[in-house]
Every structure is written in structure tokens, then in C-alpha cells.
Amino acid sequence: MSDLDNKSIPAHIAVIMDGNGRWAKQHALGRIAGHKKGVEAVRETVTACRELGVRYLTLYAFSSENWDRPAREVKSLMGLLEKFLKMELKTMLDRDIRLLAIGNCGTLPENVLKTLNEVISKTQGNSAMTLILALSYGGRDEILEAVRKIAREAAEGKIDPGDLNKEAFSDYLYTEGIPDPDLLIRTSGEHRISNFLLWQTAYTEFYFTDVLWPDFRKKDLIAAIRDYQGRERRFGKTSDQLLGDIP
Ligand code: IPE
Ligand code: IPE
Ligand code: MG
């Protein structure tokens, strides 16, 4: 199927799915047609990750800043999201995929939130892969919300600020219990983080491709993982230390 090393498949892949609008423009279509086409790439990526043994897949589907897009586009994106959730429930159940969402989900339209919660609850017992949708997600909002909660608990005397460490802090984020991404892919040639997983990507490997999201296929995912497998993750140490020559 691929020349990948099955022993070092990233446990968690995060994707900034970008370029739907430019894809549509290239094909002389409206932006919404680009988003519709993007859903096909989502399906293929979910299936491929499940087959390759990726344990967590986080997809940046809608940022806290995307609310500022034209109302018509926002409405279409919400409609596509609801349709996707309804259509993919069966696949998620068949393929043992659990769905989670991260973000300020309370701001989603009521019908979308209802469907989202239904799919989350129906798939909660699944364990082969966790698909995490970042919806109305902003990394700074996430950190701020955590800080507010911690400050409140400290004021109430429930926690001692001195006891707070990196691990404890992580538990206040939307991603509580989810390991940090090993690999972050951004499509469409943009080289920025756009407020995605700011805390969690401290040691994530980044991979950028010019491929526009609607054109992203399994071969592109494999190319990203192959690139990842060729890297040395040093986490601040030296290469020699990693090889075990020096303690
Ligand atoms: C990504 O594609 C989809 C969302 C952000 C929802 P874009 O819509 O950002 O596409 P470009 O960047 O305009 O090409
Ligand atoms: C990031 O893409 C958000 C999603 C992919 C959902 P954008 O297209 O919104 O990012 P910017 O604004 O170009 O940085
Ligand atoms: Mg974009």
C-alpha cells in the first residue's frame, strides 16, 4: 500500500484544511463549491488515517475567526457540517471511530450542535481511532478559558497555584486527555498556524504542501507521513543523546 514504516506512524495528526476558496476560483466556481469538494478530501483522509493506524486525527474545520466571513458562506459551512455528521455516522460506527469536538461549540447553530452531540454520544464507545473536529476553535480562546477556570478555582481555594504544572494545565484545555499532535499538516501553501492548537503544537512536526485541500488525497497524506518519518525529533536534546551514545 505504501512504503511507510508501520512502527512509526504518527499517533496524532492534525490538519489545517486550507485552500477550498482558491480551488473553487481555479475551477471558475463559487467558494461554496470549494467547501463541498473539500468534504470529499475529509472523507478520504479519515478513511486513510484509520487504515494506516493513526489513533487521533484532528481537523481544523472552522476557526473562531471564520465567523467573520460573509454570512452566506458561514451558513453554507454550517449546513455542510451538519450534512457531513449525519452522513458519516454510519461509517464511524462501522469503522470503530469515536467523534469528539474541540472549540467554543456553544456558538454553533442549535441544529448543528444537536447533531454533533448525537454523533459524539453514539460513537463514544468506539476506540480504533478518535476523530476530533475543531469547530469555532481558537487557540487563544482555549488558553484564556483555561486560565479563567484556574483563576476561579484558585480564588475559591480549590487549587494551589504553586501545584500547577504543564500536565495539570493541559487538563484545562479542550484537548484534555488527548495526546499532543505529532504531525501537523497545512495545505494550500500557507505557512502559518492561524490560531490552531497553540499550546499543543510545542513539539509537533510541521508539514506544508501546496496542494489545495479539495485535491488532497491518500497519496498526499502518505507523502506527509513519509516526510515525518525521515525527521529526528530531538525535544531539545542532541542527536548523540538520542542514539544512546551519551546519557
Ligand atoms: C479552508 O478553505 C476552509 C475553511 C477555512 C472553512 P478556505 O475557505 O480558507 O480557502 P481559501 O484560503 O480561501 O483558499
Ligand atoms: C484556517 O484557515 C482555519 C481553517 C482551516 C478552518 P483560514 O483560511 O481561515 O486561515 P487564514 O485566515 O488564512 O490564516
Ligand atoms: Mg484559507
Mean pLDDT of 18-25: 98
What strand order describes the sheet that includes 97-102? 97-102, 129-137, 56-63, 12-16, 183-186, 205-208
For the stretch 132-172, pLDDT in tens is 999 999 999 999 999 999 999 999 999 999 999 999 999 99
d(CA 116, CA 113): 5
For the stretch 24-71, pLDDT in tens is 999 999 999 999 999 999 999 999 999 999 999 999 999 999 999 999
Residue ranges lining ligand 2, Cβ < 6 Å: 16-18, 60-63, 66, 190, 192, 194
Whose C-alpha lies nearest to ligand 1, atom 13?
A: 21
What are the grid coordinates assigned to 156, written together?
475559591
* Arithmetic mean of pLDDT over the chain: 97
For the stretch 165-209, pLDDT in tens is 999 999 999 999 999 999 999 999 999 999 999 999 999 999 999
Res. 11 pLDDT band, cuts 50 70 90: very high
Residue 247 is predicted with a pLDDT of: 77
Could you tell me the distance, in angstroms and rounded to a whole number, from the CA of residue 155 to the centre of ligand 1? 41
96 contacts 55 by C-beta, under 8 angstroms: no
The domain locations on the chain are: 6-138+180-230
Res. 1 pLDDT band, cuts 50 70 90: low
Please check whether the domain covering 6-138+180-230 is classified as CATH 3.30.70.3270: no
Q: Would you put residue 22 in left (φ > 0), alpha (ψ -120 to 50) or beta?
A: alpha
22 lines ligand 1 (CB under 6 A): yes
For the stretch 73-110, pLDDT in tens is 999 999 999 999 999 999 999 999 999 999 999 999 99
User: Measuring CA to CA, which residue among 216, 192, 213, 218 is closest to residue 20?
Assistant: 213
Helix H segments across the chain? 20-26, 31-52, 71-94, 110-122, 139-155, 166-170, 218-229, 239-243
